[in-house]
Chain A
Amino acid sequence: MLFENYDPLKGEMLQILDHEGKIVNDKLEPKINKDTLIKMYRTMVLGRVADEKALQFQRQGRMLTYAPNIGQEAAQVGPMAALKDNDWLVLAFREFNAMLYKGVTLEQAFLYWYGNERGSRYDDEVRVLPINVPIGSQINHAAGVAYASKLQKKDEVAIVFIGDGGTSHGEFHEGMNFAATFDLPMITVIQNNQYAISTPRHKATKAKTLAQKAIAYGIPGIQVDGNDPLAMYVAVEAARERAIKGEGPTLIEAVTYRIGPHTTSDNPKLYREDEEVERWMKKDPIQRFKKYLIDKKLWSEKKDEALHEEHKQNVLETFKHVEETGDVSLEEIFEYTYENMTPNLVEQMEYYKEYLKQGGNE
Chain B
Amino acid sequence: MPNKTILQGINEALDQSMEKDKTVVVYGEDVGYEGGVFRTTAGLQKKYGEERVFDTPIAEAAIVGSAVGMAINGLKPVVEMQFSGFSLPAYNQIVTHVARFRNRSRGKYHLPMVIRMPYGGGVKALEHHSESLETLYAHIPGLKLVIPSTPYDAKGLMIAAINDPDPVIFMEPKRIYRAFKQEVPDEMYEVPIGKARMVKKGNDITIIAWGALVREVEKAMDLVRNVDAEIIDLRTISPIDQETIINSVKKTGRVLIVHEAVKSFGPAAEIISLINEKAFVYLEAAPRRLTGFDITVPLPKGEPHFIIDPEQIAYEVKNIMAFEA
Contacts and interface: CB of A to CB of B under 8 A. Distances in A.
A177 B62 contact: yes
Contacts of B92: 134, 137, 171
A308 B92 CA distance: 42
A300 interface: no
Contacts, number: 141
B79 to A, nearest CB: 10
Interface string A135-152: 001011111111111011
B74 A148 contact: yes
B22 to A, nearest CB: 9
Contacts of B102: 336-339
B231 interface: no
A144 B106 contact: no
A158 interface: yes
B125 to A, nearest CB: 25
B62 A143 contact: yes
B68 interface: yes
Contacts of A141: 65-66, 68-69, 72, 97
A55 to B, nearest CB: 25
Interface string B85-122: 00001001100110001111111111000000000000
Interface string A213-233: 000000000000000000000
A338 B69 contact: no
Contacts of A177: 57, 59, 62
B103 A147 contact: no
A133 B73 CA distance: 21
Contacts of B75: 147-148, 151-152
Contacts of B142: 337-338
Contacts of A336: 102-103, 106-107
Interface string A89-124: 010000000000000000000000000011011101
Nearest to A121: B106
Nearest to A152: B74
A134 B96 contact: yes
Contact of A337 (B61, B93, B97, B141): B141
B67 interface: yes
A29 interface: no
B34 interface: no
Interface of A: 88, 90, 117-118, 120-122, 124, 129-130, 132-134, 137, 139-149, 151-152, 158, 170-171, 174-175, 177-178, 181, 335-339, 342-344
Interface of B: 25, 51-52, 56-57, 59, 61-62, 64-75, 77, 89, 92-93, 96-97, 101-110, 141-142, 144, 165-166, 194, 239-240, 242-243
29 contacts: A117-B105, A120-B105, A120-B108, A121-B107, A122-B108, A129-B105, A130-B109, A132-B97, A137-B92, A140-B68, A140-B93, A141-B66, A141-B69, A142-B69, A143-B69, A144-B70, A145-B70, A146-B69, A147-B69, A149-B73, A152-B74, A171-B93, A177-B62, A336-B107, A337-B142, A338-B142, A338-B239, A342-B239, A343-B239
